Amino acid sequence: MPVSLEEILKISHLARLHVDPEEAGQYAADLSSILAWVQQMNKVDTRGVDPMAHPLDACQRLREDKVTESDQREKFQAIAPRTENGLYLVPKVIE
Amino acid sequence: MAQWEAVIGLEIHVQLATQSKIFSAASTAFGAEPNTQACAVDLGLPGVLPVLNYEAVRMAVMFGLAVNAAVSQRCVFARKNYFYPDLPKGYQISQYELPIVARGQLEIALGDGSYKVIGITRAHLEEDAGKSLHEEFADSTGIDLNRAGTPLIEIVSEPDMRSAKEAVSYMKKIHSFVRYLGISDGNMQEGSFRCDANVSIRPAGQKELGTRTETKNLNSFRFVERAIDFEIARQIDVLEDGNEVVQETRLYDAVQDETRPMRSKEEADDYRYFPDPDLLPVVIRPEMLEEIKQQLPELPGEKALRFTQEYGLNAQDAENLVLSKEAAEYFEQTARNTNAEAKRVANWVTGELNAALNQDDLEIASSPVSSSMLAKLLNRIEDGTISGKIAKDIFRSMWAGEGDVDSIIESKGLRQITDTLEIETLVNQVVRENPAQVEQFKSGKDKVFGFFVGQVMKITGGKANPQQVNRLLREKLK
């Protein structure tokens, strides 16, 4: 399953990763060979096997509905680039 | 002109009424100072792990049971990937292939006495995002993450609705269900209950669906109705002009009463879902399911049926009353404490009380006239102290906080006149003073009779017992 150059540019954009156009070809080749390797799995007969959602053979523990977190806004905002009036500030997002 | 048919499906987001968030132990209380209820998990700081809240699972299961849906024995959380500043992790934890609630259904009343079954495709658990404040800063957007991580269920309907009215009935029914179940406060102003509407148009009789648009974040029943009506008209115009409907996301502008395309990035739909490795599959064991089943309260349908059997109400009255859990409870408390017929109680609750609540924009819980006050008022009609008409005046006085029924009757002298002699005197007086009308009546103009009744009522300020006035006038004019 070869990965095209366009796909590399699209998924890198979706993931907000900067990929140099010169390197895109290399990524396409690498990813294509990784997918080809995994593709061997298609030969296995998986009829009657439930799709695996998690490698651990266990199920989720549930937490009691209790508020135990206290307000630590000051600590969190001390490491934020910009804050004002208790809000985190980010570059303007226009709807 | 071709006959067009609208096809509508709704996605309803319901905030669950848990104390803490779905994956963290921060509070979900509404209205706190910005970011004081956003902990490390909600902020998506490195190294944190989500831990699922039992109560959110229980509430979602309860909803599934209430709409006769298949509740999954095993469900899986998935990451829905997109970038937006109010979603700090870069993904929303949601469910994709294996939601907690699979197919169910709900019956809605169409208002003409008929019913329609609306399919529910699925309902899944997910976390809410934070809030972006665009207006307050010139060059920045402010982010409040208090809401991030609040548990939601998203309820997806089949495209089974054919008009805005049907869509609103369905939405109201879901709203009443979540209130009955106690799984959400359903507060639409605060965003606890909101809806996206998928609308498409096709020529009547055609099987394939037309291209649809999705109108986002409708947070009132009225807006849902208006936005859908607008979309239907707009799409019909587009098609009749020979153009094609563009598949897109739109926003409803309540001020302009129109929908507009959202100016956001086109690739936003590419969410690249995959199972969240931070969360194990959730297994709902039969014992847990059984335990939750036992907690199910009486639902609107059952309650309406019981009201027809226990109180002898007709189906329409019963349906109207059970729409709101609080109205149904108010009705029952009143009916239990009065000698008046249940039918009369129902009329007062859906009539006078409802009108007064609407006028003052109040919830029934904050009604100035309590159920016991209404019960006493109805008792006074029943025992003949006041007429039904005077009762309405007294109701308004009680609403305005002027006291209870008996003190208002005393202070305003509203006691009904039932003394035959007194009424007879008035009847005689009215007949004596209006000889022309007496002539008319005797020459066969029956309608004039109403004039005489009106005169007696006028003199007594509406306090004369109407039945007695009628009887005595008939005798006098015979």
pLDDT, residue B27, reads: 98
Which residues contact residue B336 at a Cβ distance below 8 angstroms, ignoring those fewer than 6 apart? B375
Strand pairing of B249-253 and B213-218? parallel
3-state secondary structure of A40: helix
Interface mutation vs chain B, best among A16, A63, A66, A76, most B CBs within 10 Å: A63
Contact list in B for residue A58 (CB cut-off 8 A) is 280
Query: How many residue contacts between A and B have a Cβ separation below 8 Å?
Result: 137
**What type of residue is B297?**
P
Which residues contact residue A63 at a Cβ distance below 8 angstroms, ignoring those fewer than 6 apart? B25, B51, B52, B53, B54
B73 touches chain A (CB under 8 A): no
B277 touches chain A (CB under 8 A): yes
State how far the alpha carbon of B161 is from the alpha carbons of B79, B108, B118, B421, in Å: 30, 10, 7, 63
**Phi, psi (deg, nearest 5) at residue B291:** -60, -40
HEC secondary structure over chain B: CCCEEEEEEEEEEEECCCCECCCCCCECCCCCCCCCCCCHHHHCCCCCCCCCEHHHHHHHHHHHHHCCCCECCEECCEEEECCCCCCCCCEEEECCCCCCECCEEEEEECCCCCEEEEEEEEEEEEECCCEEECCCCCCEEEEECCCCCCEEEEEEECCCECCHHHHHHHHHHHHHHHHHHCCCCCCCCCCCEEEEEEEEEEECCCCCCCCCEEEEEECCHHHHHHHHHHHHHHHHHHHHCCCCCCCCEEEEECCCCEEEECCCCHHHHCCCCEECCCCCCEECCHHHHHHHHHHCCCCHHHHHHHHHHHHCCCHHHHHHHHCCHHHHHHHHHHHHCCCCCHHHHHHHHHHHHHHHHHHHCCCHHHCCCCHHHHHHHHHHHHCCCCCHHHHHHHHHHHHCCCCCHHHHHHHHCCCCECCHHHHHHHHHHHHHHCHHHHHHHHCCCCCHHHHHHHHHHHHCCCCECHHHHHHHHHHHHC
> What's the gap between Cα B38 and its chain centre?
31
Contact list in A for residue B56 (CB cut-off 8 A) is 65
Contact list in B for residue A59 (CB cut-off 8 A) is 74, 280-283
Q: Are B144 and B130 spatial neighbours (Cβ–Cβ below 8 Å)? A: yes
DSSP state of A39: G
Task: Using an 8 Å CB-CB cutoff, list residues of chain A that contact chain B.
Answer: 10, 13-16, 51, 53-54, 56, 58-69, 71-73, 76-77, 82, 84-95
For the stretch A28-60, pLDDT in tens is: 999 999 999 999 999 999 999 888 888 888 999
Nearest to B141 among A51, A56, A92 (CB): A92
Nearest CA in chain B to A77: B35
Q: What stretches in chain B show pLDDT beneath 70?
A: 1-2, 263-269
**What type of residue is B410?**
E
Contact A66 B20 (CB under 8 A): yes
Q: What is the CA radius of gyration of chain A?
A: 22
Contact A65 B56 (CB under 8 A): yes
Partners of A63 in the beta sheet?
A: B53
Which residues contact residue A66 at a Cβ distance below 8 angstroms, ignoring those fewer than 6 apart? B19, B20, B25
CA distance A64 to chain B (A): 6
> What's the gap between Cα B162 and its chain centre?
20
Nearest CA in chain A to B268: A14
Distance CA B4, CA B8 (A): 13
Distance CA A93, CA B140 (A): 7
> What's the gap between Cα A35 and its chain centre?
18
pLDDT, residue B136, reads: 84
CB count in 10 Å sphere of residue B140: 19
Which residues contact residue B216 at a Cβ distance below 8 angstroms, ignoring those fewer than 6 apart? B196, B249, B250, B251, B252, B262
Element (H, E) at A88: strand A87-91
pTM listed for this prediction: 0.82
